[in-house]
Amino acid sequence: MKYALLLAFLSLPVFAAPVKLNFTQTMGKTGKVYFAVFNSSSQFPKGKPVTSGSVSVAGEREASFLVDLPAGDYAVSIFLDENNNGKLDQNFIGIPTERFGFSNNPRILTGAPSYNDCLIRVLDQENDFTIRLIKLF
């Protein structure tokens, strides 16, 4: 009997909640905005994301992505690829030369922020987060 209950529990669907990821401060640029969603500190920000995607922008100052995620903790990285080469360009010492951002809009001092600094909590309801794109130089 206990195995039947375990099997019934394991066969329950994992419910996903709608998540709206807004991004601002594209400064009217044209290009593609890429995002990656992570659920593990060991993968953030350059490992394998839970989900990722992109959207083209052509002069908009803000836009958004809609994704479905199970309730839980996540961190999001995002960048605006102005030259459409599919990557975040950096200068010779590794500082990004294109606009980028992270969930929870942490202060960028040296290097990428930690997973905990970028942590957002997705609940079993509609979720709405805003990420501000920045450019260091």
Which pLDDT does position 128 carry in this prediction? 94
pLDDT attached to residue 11: 40
Beta-carbon contacts of 2 under 8 Å, excluding residues fewer than 6 positions away, are none
CATH code at 31? 2.60.40
What percent of the chain lies above the pLDDT cut of 70? Answer: 90
What's the pLDDT band for 14 if we cut at 50, 70, 90?
Answer: low
In tens, the pLDDT along 51-73 reads 999 988 888 888 888 999 999 99
Q: Which residue range(s) make up the domain with 48?
A: 15-132
**Once rounded to an integer, what is the mean pLDDT over residues 73-99?**
94
Short-list 107, 35, 108, CA closest to 74:
35
pLDDT attached to residue 65: 87
The answer as to whether 124 is a domain residue is yes
Residue 73 located in a structural domain: yes
The share of the chain scoring above pLDDT 90, in percent, equals: 62
Do the domain assignments include residue 6? no
**Cα–Cα distance for residue pair 87/93, rounded to 1 Å:** 16
Q: How confident is the model at residue 12 (pLDDT cuts 50, 70, 90)?
A: very low
- 7 found inside a domain: no
Number of structural domains in the chain: 1
Give me the residues paired with residue 97 across strands.
none
Q: Is residue 1 part of a domain?
A: no
